[in-house]
Amino acid sequence: MSTILPLTLKDVAVRRRGKRLLGPVDLTLDPDGLTMIIGPNGSGKTTLLRVMHGVERLSTGTATWAVPEEEARHRQSYVFQTPIMLRRTVADNLGYPLRLLNAPRAQVNARVRHWAERIGLADRLSLQATRLSGGEKQKLALARALIRKPDVLFLDEPCANLDGASTRDIESILQTALSEKTRIIMTTHDLGQARRLASDAVFMLHGVVHERGPASRFFGAAQTAELQAFFRGDIIA
C-alpha cells in the first residue's frame, strides 16, 4: 500500500472570532522521519498539528495528502496531551479503534494482547482505564493510536507532566514505531526530547513557521535570533 504522504499545506490560515491563530503556513511533510514542532506557548503548535490531522477548520488555504482525504483520515492517529480514556477496561480501550473497523474478534484480541504486553499492561487488561496512572494512561493512548498501524502518528506534547521513566517508555515506543516506518509529527516543550528524537524540526512563533530544518542544523546552528533565544531559554515577545 502506498504511503499517504507527502502532506502539503498551502497558504493555510486559521482564524477564530477575528483572531488569527495560525498562518499563513506553507509546509510539506515528506514520508519519513520524525518532525518535531517546538515553540513558546500560544505559538500555534497544537493548531498546526490539528490542521494536519484534519480536525481543525481552515479559514484559508488547503491541506492535501497524496491520497483522497477520507482514506488519509483512516490511516493516521492522534495522541492528545491529556490522554482521553474511554470509560471502559484497558482491553476495550485498546481494541476500540479496531472494532470501529469491524475487525474480526480474534484479530482484535491478538493485537490487544500484543500491545498490552508492549506497554506493560498485560496483567491489567480488565482494569478500568480511568484508574490507571497518568503515565500508564498516556502509554495506553499511544498504544491505542498505534494499534491500527497508522501511516502517520500525531502527538501533542505526549510527555507533558510525565516523570522520567514514563517519558523513556514512551520514547522507546516511538523509536520502535519509527523503525516500523510510521511517520511521526509531534509537539514538545522538552528540548532534550526534541534533540533525542527529531529527524527534522519546525519552530513556530506567532502562528507561523519561523524556522525549519533537519535536526542537525536546526539544533546545532539555529539561523534566526528568535530560535537562538528560545534555545537559551529567553522569553520571546
CB of 93 to other proteins, least distance (A): 10
CA dist., res. 204 & res. 197, Å (int)? 18
Looking at the Cβ atoms of 73 and 124, the one nearer to other proteins is: 73
Look at residues 36, 65, 62 and name the one whose alpha carbon lies nearest to residue 49.
36
Looking at the Cβ atoms of 100 and 110, the one nearer to other proteins is: 100
CB of 80 to other proteins, least distance (A): 6
CB of 196 to other proteins, least distance (A): 26
CA dist., res. 96 & res. 90, Å (int)? 10
Rg (C-alpha) for the chain, rounded Å, is 18
Looking at the Cβ atoms of 37 and 209, the one nearer to other proteins is: 37
**Grid cell 502527538 in the structure block, residue:** 155
Looking at the Cβ atoms of 55 and 225, the one nearer to other proteins is: 55
Question: Read out DSSP for 30-78?
Answer: -SSSEEEEE-STTSSHHHHHHHHHT-S--SEEEEE-SS-HHHHHHTEEE
DSSP state of 236: P
CB of 154 to other proteins, least distance (A): 9
Q: Which residues make up the interface to other proteins (CB under 8 A)?
A: 53, 55, 73-74, 77-78, 80, 84, 86-89, 96-97, 100, 126, 128
CB of 84 to other proteins, least distance (A): 4
Looking at the Cβ atoms of 38 and 145, the one nearer to other proteins is: 145
